[in-house]
Amino acid sequence: MGGVGSGKKASTASRRRKALKLRAGGWTLAQIGEELGCSPQAVSQLLGGDGRGSAEPLRCRACKRTICPPRKGVWTNRPALCLTCLAHAPNAPFGNRLQAFRLARGLTQRELAARTGVPRATIRNYEQTQSGRLAWPVLRKLVAFFGPGLVELEPPPESKQTGKRK
């Protein structure tokens, strides 16, 4: 620590200030970690969490609105969309859709698993994979919980190009 060739590291306070500024700008823990040269978990601890949550609310990657308030267990290494922005992204992969719906309800993957009967590992895999096979029994459980919006392919009428409701 501080030996020959180690170079001078920024103070913890200055790293924390930088991390807070980046997080407020909508950066994910993974992006901040890459910028600071540390893991997403180290960033979470730096921001005042315990590695399982964030000291800041989770924000939409597109509009920067708050998706859910800070809460232990609700954080992600992947940028998330709010449901409004998701409605304007009909080609979003299923994993992004599932994550957006889960976070909009402020649920952890573990809580969603308990409420739907879908294994947590399956939820995690769907959220982290951009493509893959969806098992029909699992999809039925998730749609039963979240509603058909989870798999709708077209944006709602008010978000079409005319901007008028039908």
Q: How many CA atoms lie within 13 A of 103 on its CB side?
A: 32
Q: Which two tokens stand for residue 13?
A: 């306070």
Average pLDDT over residues 32-54: 75
Query: What are the φ and ψ backbone dihedral angles of 150, each rounded to 5 degrees?
Result: -60, -30
Cβ neighbours around 115 below 10 Å, total:
12
What is this structure's pTM?
A: 0.63
Assess contact for 79 and 61: CB atoms under 8 A: yes
Query: Which is more confidently placed, 33 or 163?
Result: 33
CB distance 6 to 12 below 8 Å = no
Annotated domain spans of the chain: 12-56, 57-156
* Residue 164: per-residue pLDDT: 42
Which residue carries 């954080």 as its tokens?
75
Condensed to tens digits (0 to 9), the pLDDT of residues 83-132 reads 999 988 888 889 999 999 999 998 989 999 999 999 999 998 998 876 66
At 70, the pLDDT band (50, 70, 90 cuts) reads confident
What integer pLDDT is reported at residue 91 of this predicted model? 85
For 144-157, write each residue's pLDDT tens digit.
999 998 987 665 55
| CATH 1.10.260.40 correct for 57-156 | yes
